[in-house]
Structure 1
Amino acid sequence: MKLSVSLGLWQDRPPEEALETARAAEAAGYPELWIGEMATWDAFALGTAIGAATSRIALTFGPLAVTVRDPATIAMGVASVAALTGRATGVALGTSSDVVVRGWHGRSRSRAATALAESAIAVRQLVSGSKSTVDGSVVGSQGYRLRLAAPNSPLTIAAFGPRALEVAARYADRMVVNLVSPAAAASLVRGLRAAAARAGTTPPPVAAWVVGAADPGQAELEQLRRGVVGYLAAPGYADMFHAEGFGELVDFARTRPHPRELLAAVPVEAIAAVGLLGAPSEIAAKAREYAEAGVDELAIVPATSDEDPGGAKTLAAVAAELA
């Protein structure tokens, strides 16, 4: 199975730790680093810094929210990092959440799946060096061509719901799913294959972002438990956690308790359901479950702490066990 690394961008850790994770990923032999965009770094600025701090690891940006960033700025950003660092670059597109799109950026998520499809077409045109021709009903780009060298970046689509699966089947070089159990991943893989059959396309390979912690200490477990709190009552994710045997926890989350109360109720087993956690043998066994579900690539999101800054221990252990 292919392996890659995704930055956790953990809110309880120093922002600069992202550079440590990047260096640790390269040192452990991972070929690709995903650079998301949440509350801290501009993804392209961070990617440029990572390019200066490492020597060879490929950089994939996103998933970037298509109703926040338009195709031209996405293509310019990817091409800029490729030109400044000399690295192979990829780009991932997604629809993000109401909190990010409506709350932080003041944009609408209306017709997000349409925006995803239109952005995919326009971004692919631009990163291949073509002039953009998309006059979309939600987003688009017309008449622009990169002045920098075309990075020819592969396109990844983040998918969870049925409409995003249709977009991935039609336009993606790769699909990515986030924080899913092997059973949920298998359902999404089946959905992608069905969508590809309807579209008359070949289904792209599937990557899964999975949290990881090798022989975790209390700090790493606390970080990972905090990381799932926001998903427990979210549409789709709530059903997944319920199916994994955490129905009472989901019901409690749906009452909207104080985050501290909900965090205290999250068991370690809920993290283990959606990630690689524990001893090397446990990590290997869980990776096999994802492979059997049809996942082609695991993008490891390493837990970090003062005892394991940057997640270097976890990344080395996972690479040694699964590479």
Structure 2
Amino acid sequence: MRLSVSLGLWQDRPAGEAVRTAQIADEHGYPEVWVGEMATYDAFALATAIGARTRRIALTVGPLAVTVRDPMMIAMGAASVAELTGRQVNVALGTSSPVVVEEWHGRSRSRAGTALREAVQALRPLLDGEKSAFSGTMLTSNGYRLRLPAPRSELTVAAFGPSAVRAAALADRMVLNLLTPASAARLITDLRLISPATKVAAWVTAAVDPDPAAIEQIRRGVVPYLAAPGYGEMFAEAGFADVVRYALTRPHPRELLARIPDALLESVALIGDSVEIMDRLDAYAEAGVDEVALVPASTDADPCGEGTLKALAERPAPAGGEDPPS
């Protein structure tokens, strides 16, 4: 199984750790770093900075919210980073959350699934250097061609529901976030019925031999998902129906945090020693995941997730599988 790295962009850590985490990934031979966008850096600016401070690692920018950034904007951004860094630059797309799209940006998420599918269709020719000629029901781009060299980016779609899976079938990769191997297997089965060739990646938070602060960091990251449609059902199926029922009462986040057992975290994260984590990686591989993008926890005991990334870069290769990233 291929391992890459996704920046955690942890809100309880200094923002600048994102660049250092990417440097560590580069130093230990990981082939790709996923550069997301939350409340700190612009994703294209951060990707450019990473490209200037690393030697060889490829960059995937996103997921970018398709109801916030239009196809021309995304294509120009990807081409800019590729030209300025000399790296392979890929693009990930998603629908993001109501908080980000509707509250932060003041945009509508209406028919976001349609916008996601149309973004893939509109971006493919743009990223290959062709003149845009796309008019959809949600997105339109006509008459623009990149003046910079075409980045020929691989397109990835962040998916969870059926509409996003259908959009991912048009892309090169589908990426899943915070899923149990069983839930990942069902989505991959749905994808394979439409597109046998689309690769599958999964973002999975990781902490090798974690200290208590790392466990708490991962626990805080799970809180928003417990009452979310689809995720709540997934956690209930995994044996945590009592926690989901409590989350649906909308308690104070601090009170919900105290109710989340370590076993729930272990159902969707890579936590433990190297042997335990290898078993979890095997479970994702058996579910059909081709690539795990490690999201390393970062604490004072393991700043930037360096210990975790080093340990997993040095893991033994699975039987019949790929060599470790380093």
Alignment TM-score, normalising by the size of structure 1: 0.97
Match of 2:110 in 1: 110
- The list of structure 1 runs, each at least 4 consecutive aligned residues, that deviate by more than 2 angstroms after superposition, is none
**1:275 partnered with 2:287:** no
Q: Tell me, which stretches of 5 or more residues in structure 1 are unaligned?
A: 197-201
Q: CA deviation at 1:203?
A: 3.4
One-letter code of the match for 1:102?
A: E
- Spell out the pairing of 1:185-264 with structure 2 (5 A cutoff): 185-196=184-195, 202-264=196-258
Instruction: Output one character per residue of 1:71-109: Cα deviation in whole Å (capped at 9) or x when no partner.
Output: 011011111010101011100111111111111111111
CA contact (8 A) 1:119 1:140 kept: no
Question: Whole-Å Cα distance in 2 between the matches of residues 304 and 252 of structure 1?
Answer: 28
Match of 1:199 in 2: none
Question: Whole-Å Cα distance in 2 between the matches of residues 28 and 166 of structure 1?
Answer: 35
Instruction: Output one character per residue of 1:52-71: Cα deviation in whole Å (capped at 9) or x when no partner.
Output: 11111000011111001100
Question: Whole-Å Cα distance in 1 between the matches of residues 53 and 210 of structure 2?
Answer: 27
CA contact (8 A) 1:8 1:303 kept: yes
Q: CA deviation at 1:9?
A: 0.4
Match of 2:309 in 1: 315
Question: Whole-Å Cα distance in 2 between the matches of residues 193 and 203 of structure 1?
Answer: 8
Question: Whole-Å Cα distance in 1 between the matches of residues 263 and 146 of structure 2?
Answer: 48
Question: Whole-Å Cα distance in 2 between the matches of residues 62 and 318 of structure 1?
Answer: 23
Q: CA deviation at 1:167?
A: 1.3
Question: Whole-Å Cα distance in 2 between the matches of residues 103 and 231 of structure 1?
Answer: 18
CA contact (8 A) 1:155 1:174 kept: yes
Match of 1:20 in 2: 20
Aligned-pair Cα RMSD in Å: 0.9
State which of 264, 286, 291 in structure 1 corresponds to 2:285: 291
CA contact (8 A) 1:20 1:309 kept: no
Question: Whole-Å Cα distance in 2 between the matches of residues 287 and 249 of structure 1?
Answer: 25
One-letter code of the match for 1:127?
A: L
Match of 1:145 in 2: 145
One-letter code of the match for 1:228?
A: V
CA contact (8 A) 1:165 1:195 kept: no
Q: CA deviation at 1:242?
A: 0.6
Match of 1:56 in 2: 56
Q: Tell me, which stretches of 5 or more residues in structure 2 are unaligned?
A: 317-323
Question: Whole-Å Cα distance in 2 between the matches of residues 271 and 319 of structure 1?
Answer: 22
Q: Secondary structure at the match of 1:206?
A: strand
One-letter code of the match for 2:68?
A: V
Q: CA deviation at 1:241?
A: 0.6
Alignment TM-score, normalising by the size of structure 2: 0.96
Question: Whole-Å Cα distance in 2 between the matches of residues 124 and 166 of structure 1?
Answer: 16
Q: CA deviation at 1:246?
A: 0.7
One-letter code of the match for 1:162?
A: P
Match of 1:34 in 2: 34
Match of 2:77 in 1: 77
Q: CA deviation at 1:306?
A: 1.1
Match of 1:181 in 2: 180
Question: Whole-Å Cα distance in 2 between the matches of residues 87 and 145 of structure 1?
Answer: 21
Match of 2:320 in 1: none
One-letter code of the match for 2:207?
A: A
Match of 2:2 in 1: 2
Question: Whole-Å Cα distance in 2 between the matches of residues 269 and 141 of structure 1?
Answer: 47
Match of 1:99 in 2: 99
Match of 2:171 in 1: 172
Question: Whole-Å Cα distance in 1 between the matches of residues 10 and 48 of structure 2?
Answer: 20
Question: Whole-Å Cα distance in 2 between the matches of residues 270 and 320 of structure 1?
Answer: 27
Question: Whole-Å Cα distance in 1 between the matches of residues 79 and 259 of structure 2?
Answer: 45
One-letter code of the match for 2:141?
A: S
Q: CA deviation at 1:26?
A: 0.8
Q: CA deviation at 1:193?
A: 1.1
